[in-house]
Amino acid sequence: MLYIYSVTISPIIEEYICRGIIFKKLSSKFSFRLSALLSSIVFAIPHFNLSGFIGYVFVGFIWCWYYQKSNNLLIPIFSHALFNFTTILIMSLKG
């Protein structure tokens, strides 16, 4: 059940909140870089992974860029789902 949630529901909810609401609102007032950085930090915090914090901020920043360039929230949602799927697959193969 966790795998299904991580690949389907989580990307939709997280991208809607972090990119669709937070980034969109910030980018109407601030530069892309600042808006992407702040929304990516908000994205990273709930993952509760201090050692992976910078990585979460980085992928969040990339997904902001995808959203900005495409103006389509489905692009970061699908990328996020693929990222989660790949991460789970690699972790499963490692044992």
Q: Which DSSP category does 86 fall into?
A: H
Asked if residue 18 lies in contact with residue 60, where contact means CB atoms within 8 angstroms, the answer is yes
Rounded distance between C-alpha atoms, residue 25 and residue 18, angstroms: 10
Query: Which of the following is catalytic: 11, 14, 43, 66?
Result: 14
Q: Exactly one of 25, 47, 52, 82 is catalytic; which is it?
A: 47
SS3 state of residue 89: helix
**Catalytic residue at 80?**
no
In angstroms, the CA 92 to CA 35 distance is 34
Place of tokens 């969109």: 24
Catalytic residue at 14? yes
So which residues are the catalytic ones? 14, 47
